[in-house]
Chain A
């Protein structure tokens, strides 16, 4: 606190102050040596009063600086421009959130429709299967018909294999929409911060003081989705790590 920069004193003035302090301390030592407790107590009081005075002077200086800073802030139109742009920024991010949500739902709609069609295709494959079985029985000694039944069986197998692959891929496609939940959570977090900054800035600009209410972005203590490069200490490194930790409590 008492560095030369913040005291604002020139080196000469500082040296003078130090000399004065030394003189006072010498006086006090002398008083003590002479057993003059009353004088010592008086000198000590003086010294403390001087410290207090300079403390209050510093506070006054800080208050003045702060007031000047506020005035400068008010007259700087960039702050007002920023304050008016923040709601736009928040609204734009809200819009991004809605767009991703809509796109994810659209994709899930298509996935579910495709899954239903694929299930119908599976039923068709079943029909082929029973037709083939009947053909096989009717073929009797006809090698041509037996060959046909064999051909149908390989078509059927290929159909079932493709159906399985498509089912798996559709499931993966649905799973990939998870990005919307994670990016949505992050966007909500950022819009929360923007709205908080906006609120505080408006407060500052209108110079209103008083009790600070916490906004909607109040900290829940939760960290939200992990962000590359912004990993928080204390987070697990993945599902295996989470499993190991959980296992200790089960």
Chain B
């Protein structure tokens, strides 16, 4: 049983590849989400997060400027942002990297290449967990 998705969520998609941002955005649209903002690395994402009421972050790991893992650490260290679920979607498949992300407080981890089904599954799971915690 999955909790019903709240389609009004404000989502930030962070990836240095514009094609990937569009793909994730397209998938999210298909899932019924329309309030989506894009950022091309952690450095541009962080001020957006601090300024806006974002409910969810989907981020790549390997980006110039500020990588996703650092963005995650900043989010978790920020009193106002630390509660936002962060889903990492990355080509980095090293076990030590996944452990590092888990220790930094990642909410979900998707290894590229991935499918729309995987994204939906992870979103459901994260929302379910947050709904239970709330």
Contact = CB atoms under 8 A, between A and B. Distances in A.
Interface stretch (A39-47, A175-183, A207-215): A175-183
A175 B110 CA distance: 14
A167 interface: yes
A232 B95 CA distance: 10
Given A108-B23, A178-B23, A185 B91 contact: yes
Q: How large is the interface on B (under 10, 10 to 19, 20 to 34, 35 or more residues)?
A: 35 or more
A223 B92 contact: yes
Q: How large is the interface on A (under 10, 10 to 19, 20 to 34, 35 or more residues)?
A: 35 or more
A111 B30 CA distance: 12
Nearest to B93: A235
Interface string A141-174: 0000000000000000000000000010001101
Interface in B59-107: 61-62, 67, 91-99, 101-103, 106
A183 to B, nearest CB: 10
Given A108-B19, A111-B26, A112-B26, A178 B113 contact: yes
B17 A108 contact: no
Contact of B62 (A108, A185, A234, A248): A185
B17 A223 contact: no
Contacts of B61: 222
Interface string A220-248: 10111110000010111011001101101
B2 interface: no
A246 B17 CA distance: 25
B99 to A, nearest CB: 7
Contacts of A223: 92-94, 97
12 contacts: A108-B26, A167-B30, A171-B30, A178-B114, A179-B113, A180-B20, A181-B19, A184-B17, A224-B91, A246-B98, A246-B102, A246-B108
Interface of B: 15, 17-20, 22-23, 26-27, 29-30, 61-62, 67, 91-99, 101-103, 106, 108-116, 118
Interface of A: 101, 104-105, 108, 111-112, 115, 167, 171-172, 174-175, 177-182, 184-185, 220, 222-226, 232, 234-236, 238-239, 242-243, 245-246, 248-250
